Amino acid sequence: MRTLLSVVTGPPTILLTTALVVLFCFWLLVAAGLTSADIFDADANLRAWGLGGVPVAVALTMLTAVAWSLSVGGVLLLAACAPPCAVTGLLRMGLPVAALPVAWRLTCLFVRPLHRLFPDEPGPPDRGRARDHVDHAA
């Protein structure tokens, strides 16, 4: 338990932990009815990043939670399997940074099925479609 607290509150994972706490407070405000989940949709368009189809707050919450989980899990695994040394310290500092692109890709995959729950949001860009419209009038 002490190792987990050390990882969660230690550098650089503390940055993701702080972001997760801020998002948790935001969702408490949404649950209390003081704000809405789509409050940031006019300010940011995440469609180009493959995160369209859900409110910005949902996508960023998922991204932060996945990055935090990967970071904490990776550092805990590193602490359990590798002896403490300079290389382990460098890896520990690099894991949260390396977790971000992996978390982004995983979040892109998680957001796609959620699009059905948010029909008012523009969906992710269609990729690989040869034709948008087929005219069968013969």
CB–CB of 49/105 below 8 Å?
A: no
More confident of the two residues 1 and 121: 1
Answer for the pair 37, 99: CB distance below 8 angstroms, yes or no: no
Residue 129, pLDDT > 50, answer: no
In the block, tokens 């607290």 appear at 5
CA distances from 79 to 26, 31, 83 (A): 32, 37, 7
Confidence of residue 21 (pLDDT cuts 50, 70, 90): very high
Q: Phi-psi category of 44—alpha, beta or left, where left has phi over 0 and alpha has psi -120 to 50?
A: beta
Confidence of residue 134 (pLDDT cuts 50, 70, 90): very low
Per-domain residue ranges of the chain: 2-36+48-117
Q: Mind listing the pLDDT tens digit for each residue in 51-76?
A: 777 888 888 999 999 999 999 988 88
Question: What pTM, to 2 d.p., does this model score?
Answer: 0.75
